[in-house]
Amino acid sequence: MTPSATRTHRPIVISGPSGSGKSTILKRLFADHPDTFGFSVSHTTRLPRPGEQDGREYNFTNQEAFLALVKDGGFIEHAKFGGKYYGTSVKAVKDVAEKGRICVLDIEMEVCALSAHGSSLLDLTTERLTYDFRFFQGVKQVKKTDLGARFLFLKPPSLKILEERLRGRGTDDEESVKKRLEQADKEMAFAEEEGVHDKIVINNDLDRAYQEVEDWVVDGGRFGG
């Protein structure tokens, strides 16, 4: 990555609990700035599914090559799920910057959905939600790289309001709601620790929260420079 690309297209790591409005805000951000952002492509050792193309949905590789890259420190994060490895390489994120775009990395509590092609990032699939990428570890791993990433946390006004949002969606059973709330409580506590995030946005009003996120992410046209 050239110094110019590093300076003007620093990756943005956006995290927040399920129900914080993150997916909605991200979709709006990409719609309003279609030429500003890009997506990295994950590596995986699983076989391609029908319709998937190497280098588009994933960089498909074998276990030997994957573990060699792990040993060389080539991944921002990686994990094993269902007997297959998944990971986001430093190079994949830097390649986005070389194309003149900002790579947005989306981190969940139970998953670091750090890289995907567009639809996968914004419409997280069941598979992607079950990757064993812990939130705390994911943020710390990204901080250890030379990517110069910026970190934003999208926070609900309170756990009570978050619970109302989760129940209002009608997509989760009681056990899932309780689990998400427990995860959110831990994530919100971690987010308040000094030095973890550069920016915390409280989503009490969606339009206002989006404006605050947009202003910070786009950074007055300097794109994080």
Note down pLDDT in tens along the chain; length 225 residues. Answer: 455 554 568 888 888 888 899 889 988 998 999 899 877 788 999 999 999 999 988 999 999 999 999 999 998 878 787 788 988 898 988 888 898 898 887 664 333 333 333 333 333 333 333 333 445 566 777 777 778 889 999 999 999 999 999 999 888 889 888 988 988 898 898 888 888 899 999 999 999 999 999 999 986 445 444
Instruction: For residue 15, tell me if it sits in a domain.
Output: yes
Instruction: For residue 182, tell me if it sits in a domain.
Output: yes
Instruction: For residue 61, tell me if it sits in a domain.
Output: no
Instruction: For residue 121, tell me if it sits in a domain.
Output: yes
Position 135 scores a pLDDT of 54
Instruction: For residue 75, tell me if it sits in a domain.
Output: no
CA distance 137 to 206: 28
H/E stretch holding 21: none
**Exposure class string for 144-179: b at 16+ Cβ within 10 A, else e:** ebebebbbbbbbbeeeeebbebbeeeeeeeeeebee
Position 205 scores a pLDDT of 96
- Beta strand segments in the chain, E: 12-15, 37-38, 43-44, 59-60, 75-81, 84-89, 102-107, 112-113, 150-155, 199-202
Q: Phi and psi at residue 46, in whole multiples of 5°?
A: -75, 160
Instruction: For residue 13, tell me if it sits in a domain.
Output: yes
> What's the number of domains the chain is made of?
1
Report helix angle 174-191 to 135-143, nearest 10.
30
Position 46 scores a pLDDT of 94
Instruction: For residue 20, tell me if it sits in a domain.
Output: yes
Instruction: For residue 53, tell me if it sits in a domain.
Output: no
Report helix angle 174-191 to 159-169, nearest 10.
140
H/E stretch holding 125: none
Position 198 scores a pLDDT of 92
C-beta of residue 19 within 8 angstroms of C-beta of residue 169: yes
C-beta of residue 174 within 8 angstroms of C-beta of residue 128: no
Whole domain around residue 204: which residue ranges? 3-38+102-221
CA distance 126 to 192: 29
CATH at residue 204? 3.40.50.300
